[in-house]
Amino acid sequence: MARDDTQPNPGMDEESFQTFLEQLDRWVRERLIPAETKTIELNRVPDDIRQEMIDMGLFGITTPEAYGGAGMKTSQYIETMKRISYAAPAYRSLLSINVGMVTTALVKGGTEEQRRTWLPRLVEGTIAAFALTEPGSGSDSAGLQTTAVRDGDDYVLNGTKRYITNAPFADMVIVMARTSKENLPKNGHVSAFLVPTDAPGVTIGKPDEKMGQSGAQIADVILEDARIPAANLLGGVEGRGFMVAMQSLDNGRLSIAACSTAYAQRALDSGLKYATERKAFGEPISGFQLIQAMLADSKAEIYASECMIKDATAKADTGARVSMEAACAKMFASEMCGRVVDRVVQIYGGAGYLKEYEAERFFRDARLYRIYEGTTQIQQLVIAKQMLREAGAL
């Protein structure tokens, strides 16, 4: 049976959580940021950093205490992702799929047996991926082509999933697949499956080369007559996959909002430092009003994004559904981050276009935030449709 979410998750006690954040901030600045160069060179999170993440309990922050985790509520989880995201995106990417989308799917949609089997493994550092997007479909569930056909005590899966974060080193993937040839109401043709990557018929493609976010790897997940036990049907019921995906995407979108906000702050801090050190016409360029305007606009937009995230996560902590709020926060924060990093490149001037300076990397890294977990245009549709439903027009 699925978990009963009628009672809000109380989360960690506030004093313990604040102590945790202080330790996390030190670790981000003393370990993650200095390791960015190595992470980019390796194109993956170094093994010692990954082990530290496990030892610190970061892979279990959202897992209920009954399964060995810290049991953070939504606002605490999102704040944690925000603090980690001040460093290079690869670190958050490795963690967030596990503690956000996959753990959420298991806690809210898994059977008790599935939770007992998989949640402790995730806490111990098992890497998971979440596979919805395909070559011919992303947010369009009606276009989903991966199939899962029941055959005795198994399901046989066929299809290809694309742009799947963590796929190159994932141990398990939650795969969305079609269990009905027809498109059913409320996307009832989509089911979710817990698929070990070492199962026969499962192949992980070569990691894709990307514009930015080095260290965070994506690849295809190819399913060719992959035979998966029926017990791995998430929740034990067909047709609930899309609902699970959407509930998980709310968390994913809030996480992207948080990391967009944190990375914008990282870029702004860099731009501010450069502006106070770089001189032109005999004085620091921070004294020029047009530079000050770019700094001020960036700070105001970061603050607005922080307020949106706090409001959305506070509502989520009560158990309320926050699909529209998450879409609003993700859309605003990701677009805001793009504007901030662009201003920072402008503040750096010609140096901002050179790989020697970090502004160039910030610019490339930030571009993806407007695309994954639903593009800005998809967020606009989510928001508008919710508005129209509330107005009785849909």
Mean pLDDT by 10 residues, the chain (394 residues): 60 94 97 97 95 96 95 96 97 93 92 96 95 83 88 97 95 95 84 96 96 95 97 94 80 94 98 97 96 98 98 95 95 98 98 96 97 92 94 83
> Do 266 and 180 have their domain in common?
no
Q: Is residue 22 part of a domain?
A: yes
CA–CA separation, 123 and 120 (whole Å)? 5
> Do 248 and 223 have their domain in common?
no
The pLDDT value given to residue 304: 98
> Do 255 and 382 have their domain in common?
yes
> Do 40 and 158 have their domain in common?
no
CA–CA separation, 388 and 394 (whole Å)? 6
The pLDDT value given to residue 7: 67
Q: Which helix (H) or strand (E) holds 92?
A: helix 89-96
Number of domains in the chain: 3
- Which one of 91, 126, 161 terminates a domain? 126
Domain that residue 266 falls in: 243-390
Q: Is residue 252 part of a domain?
A: yes
Q: What is the pLDDT of residues 214-272, one digit of tens each?
A: 999 999 999 999 999 999 999 999 998 878 877 778 888 999 999 999 999 999 999 99
Global pTM reads 0.92
CA–CA separation, 175 and 339 (whole Å)? 34
Angle between helical axes of 14-27 and 74-84 (0-180°, round to 10): 10
Q: What is the pLDDT of residues 103-138, one digit of tens each?
A: 989 998 999 999 999 999 999 999 999 999 999 887
The pLDDT value given to residue 199: 96
> Do 369 and 254 have their domain in common?
yes
Q: Under DSSP, is residue 157 helix (H, G, I), strand (E, B) or coil?
A: strand
Answer for the pair 200, 228: CB distance below 8 angstroms, yes or no.
Answer: no
Structure tokens at 13: 């006690």
> Do 196 and 282 have their domain in common?
no
Q: Which one of the listed residues 182, 209, 373, 390 is annotated catalytic?
A: 373
> Do 330 and 205 have their domain in common?
no
Please confirm, yes or no, whether 373 is among the known catalytic residues. yes
- Which one of 218, 237, 256 terminates a domain? 237
Structure tokens at 230: 């029926």
